[in-house]
């Protein structure tokens, strides 16, 4: 095919019937990029596996209940959703979990009895000019969580080399190919599945996943559980393609492995930022500190040792943080400042702050006070000379915070 994204969508269209046989979870793949690069044509290739490329795809412009109904109707089939930009930002966060996890919301009838819960297994192929995180930002309270990033696999198509701007001749050829044979590949693929042993499928799937993880570690270093989950999704996709080639559902020269490996390594390129919630929180905190240095995060003493124009006595309730001029890389932060920086990352309030602080201490980004017996506190006392009765605050080491959040950044407050 002229565009790798089209090939990938074709494989995704075949992957959904495998889910039950191999005990795999459903997942979503979202192709994003500017107009005229063939995003929707790829969606039509996925749709043509089981139905008409014109009528089979659905739109994100639907209610929560509407999408639940569509997902249930596409159980063990691919679900194609076009134009993410049409979905309400506030609903997208929930829908991402719901579609991949295969379970709708619990609802009551008018008589207070429970309605039957909707269930499904599906592979969702989605397109749009926006990514999920950009869409969530429109909600102002939203952000992309690590759990969403591994359920909702985003591929920036031009950046990944999966799509390019197309000529009219390529578009016409793609349309003719889809319309001439749609709806035939899927039934033929399912006939092949009826003759295979489930245990053999799982063994082949495990082998493909191991190879993907090996390739991933060569490119991105040590991988964690979130990466393994995404690797499993791509392994399901590759296995579907290999089986389709073996059964002559797809031509012998169909680029199954190259296309899947290209998509997998492209996703890995930005994966660490997507799947690591705590690191994202560290980057957000670092940005907040750098933006407020010299404004509401202030030095307590000038170079001669006198008090700054800030604060002694009245500063405590009016500032976001403090540091000493001779210790510019160490910043005391008010609790409210840390809570603001961590808003939307894990549990809120003091619990969320303490959880983040423990992670920061392990990374060398938080300085801890000496142990008091068996107790290890997370907050350090401010110096006696500040005149605040040595209040306790989180004390962050900026070099450690930068090394954790942005490994290439160095230095303290300027």
Q: What is the pLDDT of residue 75?
A: 94
pLDDT tens digits for range 352-362: 788 889 889 98
Q: What is the pLDDT of residue 91?
A: 76
- 94, two tokens: 């929930």
Q: How far is CA 249 from the centre of its chain?
A: 32
Burial (Cβ within 10 Å: 0-12, 13-18, ≥19) of residue 31:
buried
Q: How confident is the model at residue 414 (pLDDT cuts 50, 70, 90)?
A: very low
Q: What percent of the chain is modeled with pLDDT above 90?
A: 34
Q: How confident is the model at residue 303 (pLDDT cuts 50, 70, 90)?
A: very low
Q: What is the pLDDT of residue 340?
A: 85
Res. 20: pLDDT tops 70: yes
pLDDT tens digits for range 57-106: 998 888 888 889 999 999 999 999 998 888 876 677 778 778 888 888 88
Is the pLDDT higher at 200 or at 385?
200
Q: What is the pLDDT of residue 307?
A: 47
Residue 245 φ/ψ, nearest 5 degrees: -70, -45
* Whole-number Å distance between alpha carbons of 293 and 381: 21
Q: What is the pLDDT of residue 271?
A: 64
Average pLDDT, the chain: 82
Q: Which range has highest mean pLDDT (13-22, 298-307, 385-394)?
A: 13-22
Q: What is the pLDDT of residue 139?
A: 57
Q: What is the pLDDT of residue 354?
A: 86
Res. 274: pLDDT tops 60: no
Domains of the chain and any CATH numbers: 4-275 (3.40.50), 277-405 (no CATH)
Q: How confident is the model at residue 144 (pLDDT cuts 50, 70, 90)?
A: low
Q: What percent of the chain is modeled with pLDDT above 70?
A: 82
């Amino acid at each position: 095919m002229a565009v790798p994204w089209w090939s990938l969508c074709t494989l995704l269209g075949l992957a959904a019937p495998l889910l039950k046989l191999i005990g795999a979870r459903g997942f979503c793949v979202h192709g994003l990029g500017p107009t005229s690069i063939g995003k929707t044509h790829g969606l039509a290739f996925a749709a043509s596996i089981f139905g008409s490329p014109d009528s089979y795809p659905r739109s994100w412009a639907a209610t929560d209940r509407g999408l639940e109904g569509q997902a249930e109707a596409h159980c063990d089939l691919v679900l194609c959703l076009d134009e993410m930009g049409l979905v309400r930002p506030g609903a997208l966060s929930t829908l991402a979990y719901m579609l991949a996890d295969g379970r709708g919301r619990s609802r009551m009838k008018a008589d207070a009895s429970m309605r039957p819960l909707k269930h499904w297994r599906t592979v969702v192929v989605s397109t749009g000019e926006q990514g999920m995180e950009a869409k969530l930002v429109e909600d102002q309270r939203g952000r992309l969580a690590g759990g969403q990033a591994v359920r909702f696999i985003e591929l920036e198509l031009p950046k990944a080399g999966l799509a390019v701007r197309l000529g009219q001749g390529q578009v016409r050829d793609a349309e003719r190919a889809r319309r001439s044979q749609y709806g035939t590949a899927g039934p033929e693929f399912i006939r092949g599945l009826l003759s295979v042993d489930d245990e053999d499928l799982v063994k082949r799937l495990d082998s493909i996943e191991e190879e993907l993880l090996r390739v991933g570690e060569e490119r991105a270093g040590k991988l964690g559980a979130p990466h393994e989950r995404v690797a499993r999704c791509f392994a399901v996709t590759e296995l579907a393609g290999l089986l389709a080639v073996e059964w002559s559902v797809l031509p012998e020269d169909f680029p199954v492995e190259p296309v899947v490996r290209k998509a997998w390594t492209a996703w890995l390129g930005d994966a660490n930022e997507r799947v690591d919630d705590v690191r994202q929180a560290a980057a957000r905190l670092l940005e907040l500190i750098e933006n407020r240095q010299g404004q509401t995060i202030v030095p307590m003493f000038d170079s001669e040792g006198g008090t700054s124009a800030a604060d002694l006595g009245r500063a405590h309730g009016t500032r976001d943080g403090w540091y000493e001029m001779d210790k510019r890389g160490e910043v005391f932060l008010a609790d409210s400042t840390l809570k603001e920086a961590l808003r939307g990352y894990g549990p809120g309030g003091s619990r969320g702050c303490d959880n983040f602080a423990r992670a920061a201490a392990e990374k060398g980004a938080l300085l801890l006070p000496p142990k008091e017996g068996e107790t290890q506190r997370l907050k350090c006392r401010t110096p006696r000379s500040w005149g605040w009765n040595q209040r306790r605050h989180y004390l962050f080491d900026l070099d450690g915070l930068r090394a954790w959040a942005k490994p290439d950044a160095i230095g303290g407050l300027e």
